[in-house]
Structure 1
Amino acid sequence: MAGETSEIALSKQDLRAVTAFAAACAAAVLDIFEADQPDDSRPRDAIDTAWDFARGGERGKALRDTAWAALKAAKCVDTAAAREAARAAMSAAGAAYLHPLAKATQVKHILGAAAHAARAAELAANDDRTVGAAHLEQAMSRAAPAVVGVLARFPAAPGGGGRVGELFRTLDAGLRTRAVATPEDH
């Protein structure tokens, strides 16, 4: 049937690995948000809830609620860097909801936190793109083989999205190259 999307096999362990990766990426820039909004715990709560799931907790309402709260926090900041750091936290909690659909847009669940974190770091360094590139390198080294294996099951990242989209596609291409260089059994 036209328009049908095939499904990709995803285990709970796959989702936990992706969420742990996303939480680690978002945690790396949490201080940017907290410097801007020291009394707002919503992004930290989203990252903590993501870690809870990654370590064996349930995938439920708390993940969704903290993801939405972190997104709302992104709208209450004074700097673009803090906004991107909050979006990274939102993406970390949302990573647990990677859908098993063979759509390029699903890759955002895997790599969104890393791309937003890299952009937050760039903006905090006066839009220094070398800082963003360094964050992507850290993200690539942080990505466990299980994360790379999950990513390789999906189509390449979609176009668009401005600078965050560029970072997203750069990370996607780098990790896919790594997947080809070191194939993982599924």
Structure 2
Amino acid sequence: MADEANEITLSRQDLREVTAFAAACADVVLEVFEADQPDDSRPRDAIGAAWEFARGGERGKSLRDTAWAALKAAKSADTEAGREAARAAMSAAGAAYLHPLAKATQVKHILGAGAHAARAAELVAGQDPHTGAEHVRRAVRRATPVVVQVLRRFPPAPGGGGRVGELTRMLDAALRSVTPPSRSPR
């Protein structure tokens, strides 16, 4: 039996909002992969499946399959930037599978697409960390209040993970510091 203290309540709408955020983050670097591998639609398919779920579709085998296919596409890319862009797409489709477990590793389901996208952009810009930081700022602006609320239910992002891990923690800290919208009096 699961320890209820370690479980987080997630609604279907929470998952849809997180997935929409992840898809929007991955969308901005899709062209990086497509420039590397113009005949490979797997990352585009993964982002499309993520958007479909976010807009009310089912969370089923095809969504999971497109995520795995995007991961395989990452392995076939010729450049590191292309690989990171494909991983962003994989993370977008995988965001729908955020588990309701109070574990820091689950934060990667929420922020992975944004972190991989920021890394892809950095690599395209000659490993410019300012470019990655700018992508993180854009991702913060892209996040809805629901995404921020869901993120805050989980522990902070874990250590490790190289530069993508650093970008994940940067995005995590920035989103956790967002001031929640004030409630209007009734």
TM range (shorter): over 0.9
- CA apart distance, 1:5: 6.3
Matching of residues 1-186 of structure 1 within 5 Å:
6-178=6-178, 181-182=179-180
- CA apart distance, 1:182: 1.5
Question: Secondary structure of the equivalent of 2:20?
Answer: helix
Q: Percent identity?
A: 75
Give unmatched runs, 5+ long, in structure 1. Answer: none
Give unmatched runs, 5+ long, in structure 2. Answer: none
CA gap of 1:183–1:9, structure 2 versus 1, over 3 A, is: farther
Question: Secondary structure of the equivalent of 2:76?
Answer: coil
1:92-142 per-position Cα deviation (integer Å, ceiling 9, x unaligned): 000000000000000000000000000000001110111101100000000
1:43-69 per-position Cα deviation (integer Å, ceiling 9, x unaligned): 000000000000000000011100000
Check whether the contact 1:84–1:119 (CA below 8 A) recurs between aligned residues. Answer: yes
- Counterpart of 1:31, as a letter, is E
Check whether the contact 1:136–1:167 (CA below 8 A) recurs between aligned residues. Answer: yes
- Counterpart of 2:76, as a letter, is C
Runs of 4+ in 1 over 6 A off after TM superposition: none
- CA apart distance, 1:4: 8.2
Q: TM-score, normalised by structure 1?
A: 0.95
Check whether the contact 1:108–1:157 (CA below 8 A) recurs between aligned residues. Answer: yes
- CA apart distance, 1:184: 7.8
CA gap of 1:183–1:158, structure 2 versus 1, over 3 A, is: farther
Question: Secondary structure of the equivalent of 1:75?
Answer: helix
Q: TM-score, normalised by structure 2?
A: 0.95
- CA apart distance, 1:39: 0.2
Alpha-carbon distance in structure 2 between the residues aligned to 1:62 and 1:121: 28
1:127-177 per-position Cα deviation (integer Å, ceiling 9, x unaligned): 011110110000000000000000000000000000000000000000001
- Counterpart of 2:28, as a letter, is A
Alpha-carbon distance in structure 2 between the residues aligned to 1:184 and 1:49: 34
CA gap of 1:39–1:155, structure 2 versus 1, over 3 A, is: same
CA gap of 1:28–1:166, structure 2 versus 1, over 3 A, is: same
